[in-house]
Amino acid sequence: MRLDPRGRTHAAYLAFLVHRLSGLALALFLPLHFWALGQAIAGEAALEGFLRWTDSPLLKAAETMLVALLAAHLAGGLRVLALEFLGWSGAQKNLVAASAGFTLLAGLLFLLNVGA
């Protein structure tokens, strides 16, 4: 499905975008992650307050999105490695589909286990 002459609707370009944007989102998440780790250093009361705050449904949804972003970035990175070592071929659509499927599966598995 290559409608745009610049290739911006091609599956490989969309996989490229997902990989780059998920990496950017994960990089933006890192300061929040370090702040959360700092709560543990600040003391038991600060950590307990933070953990109670993370029990909200909105944060659970954000946590699921974070896992999906991690899976997307991992799958995209594996796709890039496969392209580097296996060369360019007509099977790129299969690699993109496998990456998307892995991302969806990881996010859904995490979501199903969140309530446990």
Per-residue pLDDT, 114: 64
Q: How many other CB atoms are there within 10 angstroms of residue 26's CB atom?
A: 15
Q: Residues of the chain with pLDDT > 90: what percent?
A: 3
Per-residue pLDDT, 88: 63
CB of 70 closer than 8 Å to CB of 6:
no
In a domain, 51, yes or no: yes
Supply the range of the domain harboring residue 39. Answer: 11-114
In a domain, 5, yes or no: no
- Average of pLDDT values for 28-52? 86
In a domain, 82, yes or no: yes
Please state the pTM of the whole predicted model.
Answer: 0.63
- Average of pLDDT values for 9-23? 82
**Number of domains present in the structure of the chain:** 1
In a domain, 71, yes or no: yes
Q: Which residues contact 43 (CB under 8 A, 6 or more apart)?
A: none
In a domain, 43, yes or no: yes
- Average of pLDDT values for 97-109? 82
Angle formed by the axes of helices 92-114 and 11-42, to 10°? 30
**In CATH, what number is assigned to the domain containing residue 18?**
1.20.1300.10
The more confident residue out of 114 and 113 is: 113
